[in-house]
Structure 1
């Protein structure tokens, strides 16, 4: 099952939202993510959160006029709305998850949301975070990515190090390399083939496909 999760972070490209809305079998809005959908004239299948990002009038309108399944959580809770949405997607049998509206001006939230990709990895679910300039993957074995014009690839270790890192189809090749946390060794690599393959033997990699 393909699930789209829409968070309340920045989401300026409406066409991106429309494309993934058409792709998804189920759409989950995490709190203010519902407003991104509404602006684009789209609906969610599930709306969840503590609704601190949606006004009372807006929430009342949603309850009266929407067919979305509504799941309410208390404001004082141990998990962010986006994490609750990911947990629900996993519980409902997602095989692939795309997350929009997960980045923005709050770097603490953005960083925490990137870390949530670990939940997908641990449950063997394909997925990534995407915005207008980036697609972010968490890789524990290997991944093959199609070349995109004007995009670069950055590879960063999560946790102290990633060992046995190999790349194919990138200009700056890595062969059985060890990437340590706290260095920028894997930043801004470039495609030199139609696809790039990145693999790691030990540890986890964050892979960013990014453009200016």
Structure 2
């Protein structure tokens, strides 16, 4: 089951929003994420959060939608509450929109949700107009178009014996550390790139300007 969460960071544009909800089974508006649903006249399945930034007009427009309100003084971000809600409703795929933006602290916490999803064997990805971010714990073949930019970072501990094949800049038997610039801004030269490693977790970032 695919769930789409729209949180209160940088709002997704119309094309991205409509593309992701088209085949979704469950839609969650996290706090001011409800403003996006209101703007594009799409009804979510649930609206949740402390509503410190959501427009009351947007919340009140959805008369038949479940609304779950939390106190501002809580131990979880609105995105995390939405993530928990998606899992409780059986999601095995979660797309996180509105989870990047000006608040770097929230962005980092939202990337942490990707790790939680990985541990639960749930496919999860953060998307905005410029980036797609997800984590992998084993070798994969990645799809893309010629010249498309892709970067890799170690998530947490170092990634052992990391290699990149069929990319513009191949790499072999490399111990990848977080913040390493060597794996930033690689490019597709064909339709796929292969990566593999013996230990660790890799953060994959498709990006464009």
* TM-score, L = length of structure 2: 0.93
**How far apart, CA to CA, are the structure 1 residues paired with 2:97 and 2:175?**
31
Partner of 2:42: 42
Instruction: Point out where structure 2 has 5 or more consecutive residues left out of the alignment.
Output: none
SS in 2 for 1:175: strand
* Aligned pair partner of 1:114 in 108, 111, 114: 111
8 A contact 2:38–2:58 mirrored in 1: no
**How far apart, CA to CA, are the structure 2 residues paired with 1:91 and 1:110?**
23
1:196 deviates by 1.8
Partner of 2:88: 91
SS in 2 for 1:110: helix
Is 1:2 aligned to 2:2, yes or no? yes
1:154 deviates by 0.5
Q: How many residues align?
A: 209
**How far apart, CA to CA, are the structure 2 residues paired with 1:6 and 1:173?**
36
1:175 deviates by 2.3
Mapping 1:110-189, distance limit 5 Å: 110-148=107-145, 150-189=147-186
Partner of 1:53: 53
Partner of 2:188: 191
**How far apart, CA to CA, are the structure 2 residues paired with 1:157 and 1:2?**
27
Is the deviation greater in 77-86 or in 191-200?
191-200
Partner of 2:77: 80
SS in 2 for 1:160: coil
**How far apart, CA to CA, are the structure 2 residues paired with 1:86 and 1:152?**
28
Partner of 2:31: 31
8 A contact 2:33–2:54 mirrored in 1: no
Deviations 1:110-146 (A, max 9, x none): 1221122111101001121000011001111133322
Partner of 1:66: 63
8 A contact 1:162–1:205 mirrored in 2: yes
1:12 deviates by 4.6
8 A contact 1:163–1:201 mirrored in 2: yes
